[in-house]
Structure 1
Amino acid sequence: MSQLSEAPVSSASFTVTGAERMREVGRRLAALLRPGDLVLLTGELGAGKTTLTRGIGEGLGVRGAVTSPTFVIARVHPSLAGGPPLVHVDAYRLGGGLEEMEDLDLDVALPESVVVVEWGEGRVEELSEQRLHVVIHRSRGAGADDEAADDTREVTATGVGPRWAGVDLSVLGAA
């Protein structure tokens, strides 16, 4: 891979409060996605990765409930709207990097699908020089009564590669 293709070409950071708002970010992201897109989601347990993916599924109009694929590793959700299928992967339990992921045939699914990989950082970047990396940081409240802070997420979306050049990712965080 060339150094140029690895450079971020677009980025946006914003604050999200609440699960419904995170799903809305996912629905907005779905409007930007197209077949062949790889989306990596990074964040601690409970950060909102699956909630964001649920919104992507809603926006793509896919069949089936989007739930965490932790135990099955990957789920394919066909489109009900004539768009690309959503391949939802949880790489949390996979430690071997791309070699372990090859059994999932993601490289075969990628050209016609939108592939979203939770816990994919450091594991699946080699699938595509062009990808969107979404980092979700969960804020922690100062005290037990600080539920608003516990429900707040700082999100950074970074596009890598020519596919994301000129894509306005700030629309994801629009109020």
Structure 2
Amino acid sequence: MSAQPGPLPPASGERWRTEVTLEDLEDTAELATGLAGLLGPGDLLVLTGGLGAGKTTFTQSLGAALGVTGMISSPTFILSRIHRAQGTGPDLVHVDAYRSDSAGLESLDLLSTMAEAVTVVEWGRGVVESALVGTDGSWLDLELLREDSSPSTDAAASDTSSKAEIITDFSETEAEVLGSARRAVLRGYGPAWAQPPAL
């Protein structure tokens, strides 16, 4: 298994693209709550963002809105967690693909949980879409960006030839604690996401 040096560029063929400004972590939580109302069993959300971009806050808020059990934390050391629904809603499967590849993710057998769950895969862009929903399937791609960064559609951000950064400090950054502004870029793929959702 090899670590990705940075986010891969978004897949081609997006049906739409929406960008919103998130002033703080509360806005990030509101975005997650809004999306939770639109997601159901079988839905795939590919989540991208650097350290301190708000991925964990987003997923915690998504899980709370879906009403799942268990504490949702960054899946840094455990590649996949299943959070069971408390009621009639879908389970939430939370996956970290940063240090994995297609073969490593296949060993998690995510296909066996897809039908009953909303599946959120951090750093899964370019790795999980085809394997989980097929080339003609549907998924959402959400990229969370700190205000000092740019979407990976920019040439500099999509350049994967730079050296991989080894991260050893997984504590919250000052920006996470203070809740600095971020941008969310949401893209829809496939027939199920032919139109942008009203958020």
Q: Same fold (TM over 0.5)?
A: yes
- For normalisation by structure 1, the TM-score amounts to 0.84
Q: Unaligned 5+ residue runs, structure 1?
A: 1-5
- Cα distance between partner residues in 1 of 2:143 and 2:102: 20
List 4+ stretches of structure 1 deviating above 6 A. none
> Which whole-Å deviations, capped at 9, do the CAs of 1:32-66 have from their partners, x for residues lacking one?
10110010011111111111111110110000111
Contact 1:37 1:110 survives alignment (8 Å): yes
- Cα distance between partner residues in 1 of 2:75 and 2:110: 15
| 1:29 equivalent among 29, 35, 44 | 35
Letter in structure 2 aligned against 1:27: T
Alignment of 1:35-114 (within 5 A): 35-94=41-100, 97-114=101-118
Q: Which moved more, 1:28-37 or 1:158-167?
A: 158-167
Letter in structure 2 aligned against 1:64: G
- What residue is the counterpart of 2:139 in the other structure? 131
- Cα distance between partner residues in 1 of 2:16 and 2:37: 16
- For normalisation by structure 2, the TM-score amounts to 0.74
| 2:13 equivalent among 7, 20, 34 | 7
Q: CA, structure 1 residues 9+115, in 2 after alignment: closer, same or farther (shift >3 Å)?
A: same
CA RMSD of aligned residues (A): 2.1
> Which whole-Å deviations, capped at 9, do the CAs of 1:76-113 have from their partners, x for residues lacking one?
0001121110000011121xx22110111111111221
- What residue is the counterpart of 1:3 in the other structure? none
TM superposition shift of 1:167: 4.1
Q: How many residues align?
A: 158
Contact 1:30 1:59 survives alignment (8 Å): yes
- What residue is the counterpart of 2:195 in the other structure? 166
